[in-house]
Amino acid sequence: MRLLTHNMLSSNIKGVTNGFPLRLQVEKSVEKEVDLNPDFLKNIFPKIEWKALVDASHALGYPELPDDAEPSMLDSHDFLKKFHHALLELHVEEGALICPETGRNFPINKGIPNMLLHEDEV
């Protein structure tokens, strides 16, 4: 699971109003290098919750992202490289996503988060 996905997932338990961001618990992570596409990063940037990305990348041991980001920073190649690395190259293999409101644990196994709910949560 990439941090792009982490940034797009929220707790889907019935009645939860504050389900984002899910707290990331990392047991095992990997890095997979992929080509950088500046257009993709510039287009996705406005949709990214920056603080959630920064916190998640810290959980993965990558502290390079600035605490705050604004669109003008997208002109810097150095910034794009760091944004790209955090968003698309860091993968959580084993761990969990934790609902910020209920503390419910959604496991991540072999890189796949399991968001299935129990009957009483739907």
Partner 1 sequence: MDLSIEVDSSTSIVSSINAQQGEERNKMPVPSKISRIAQIRLVNCHPEVYEPCDDSFALVDALLADRTNLLEHQPRLCLEVGCGSGYVITSLALILGQESNGVHYFATDINPHAVEVTRKTLEAHGVQAEVICTDIASGLATRLEGMVDVLVVNPPYVPTPEEEVGCDGITAAWAGGEDGRSVIDRILPVADKLLSDRGCLYMVTLTANNPLQICLLMREKGYASRIVVQRSTEEESLHVIKFWRDADVEVKEPNRTSPTGTESWLSQFSRFPFWRNSNS
- SS3 category, 97: strand
Positive/negative CA dihedral, 64, 70, 74, 75: negative
**Residues 34 to 63: which contact partner 1 by CB under 8 A?**
34-35, 37, 39-40, 43-44, 47, 49
If one asks whether residue 30 binds partner 1 (CB under 8 A), the answer comes out as no
66 in Cβ contact with 56 (< 8 Å): no
If one asks whether residue 77 binds partner 1 (CB under 8 A), the answer comes out as no
Longest dimension (CA), the chain: 48
CB of 72 to partner 1, least distance (A): 21
If one asks whether residue 7 binds partner 1 (CB under 8 A), the answer comes out as yes
Instruction: Determine the straight-line distance between the first and last CA of the chain, rounded to whole angstroms.
Output: 24
Number of residues that bind partner 1 (CB under 8 A): 31
In the numeric block, which tokens belong to residue 18?
A: 């504050």
| Identified binder of partner 1 from the candidate list 20, 45, 50, 79, rule CB under 8 A | 20
| Identified binder of partner 1 from the candidate list 28, 51, 77, 112, rule CB under 8 A | 112
91 in Cβ contact with 2 (< 8 Å): yes
In the numeric block, which tokens belong to residue 47?
A: 């949709």
Residues of the shown chain interacting with partner 1 in the complex, contacts defined by CB under 8 A:
1-2, 4-5, 7-12, 19-20, 32, 34-35, 37, 39-40, 43-44, 47, 49, 88, 110-117
